[in-house]
Amino acid sequence: MVSILIPTYNYSIVNLVNTLQKQISKASFPFEIIVIDDNSNDELILAQNKSIDSFNNCQYIENTINLGRTANRDLLAKRAKYNWLLFMDADVLPKSNDFIKSFQLNDFDFELIFGGICYKNEKPKSNEIFRWKYGKSRESISLKQRQQKPYLSINSGCFLIKKELFLTINKEINIQKYGMDILFKQVLKKKQIRVLHIDNPVIHLGLESSQAFLKKSLEAIETTVFLEEKHNLNIDVSSLQKSYSMLKKLKMLGIFSFIIKKQKIYLEKNFNSTNPNLFFFDLYRLNYYIELKNKKSA
Domains within the chain, CATH numbers bracketed: 2-204 (3.90.550.10), 210-297 (no CATH)
* Residue 238 confidence (pLDDT): 94
pLDDT grade, residue 105 (50/70/90)? low
State how far Cα 39 lies from the chain centre.
20
Q: CB of 205 within 8 A of CB of 129?
A: no
Q: Give residue 173's pLDDT.
A: 82
- How are the residues of the chain apportioned to helix, strand and coil, as percentages rounded to the nearest 5? 50, 15, 35
CA 157 vs CA 65, 125, 241: distances in Å: 23, 22, 23
Rounded to whole angstroms, how far apart are CA atoms 14 and 298?
50
Q: Give dist(CA 256, CA 123) in Å, integer.
A: 33
> What confidence category does residue 178 fall into, taking pLDDT thresholds of 50, 70 and 90?
confident
CA 130 from centroid of its chain's CA atoms: 17
| Per-residue confidence band for 220, with pLDDT thresholds at 50, 70 and 90 | very high
Q: What are phi and psi of 277, to 5 degrees?
A: -100, 115
d(CA 204, CA 140): 10
DSSP secondary structure, 66-93, as one string? ---HHHHHHHHHHH--SSEEEEE-TTEE
Which CA distances in Å does 291 have to 117, 126, 298? Answer: 32, 30, 11
The pLDDT of residue 291 is above 80: yes
Pairing, β 92-94 against β 202-204? antiparallel
Question: What DSSP line would sit under 142-160, residue for residue?
Answer: -HHHHHHSTTTT--TTEEE
The neighbour count for residue 287, using CB atoms within 10 Å, is 21
* Residue closest to 116 by CA, chosen among 157, 162, 73: 157
Yes or no: say if 74 and 170 are a contact pair by the CB < 8 Å rule: yes
- Alpha-carbon distance 83 to 131, whole Å? 34
The 10 Å CB-count burial string (b at 16+, else e) for 145-172 is ebeeebbbbbbebbbbbbbebbbebbee
Q: Please provide the average confidence, as pLDDT, over all residues in the chain.
A: 93
- pLDDT of 76 reads 96
Q: How many CB atoms lie within 10 A of CB 253?
A: 17
Segment 2-45, tens digit of pLDDT = 999 999 999 999 999 999 998 887 777 788 999 999 999 999 99
Look at residue 104 and tell me whether its pLDDT is greater than 70. no
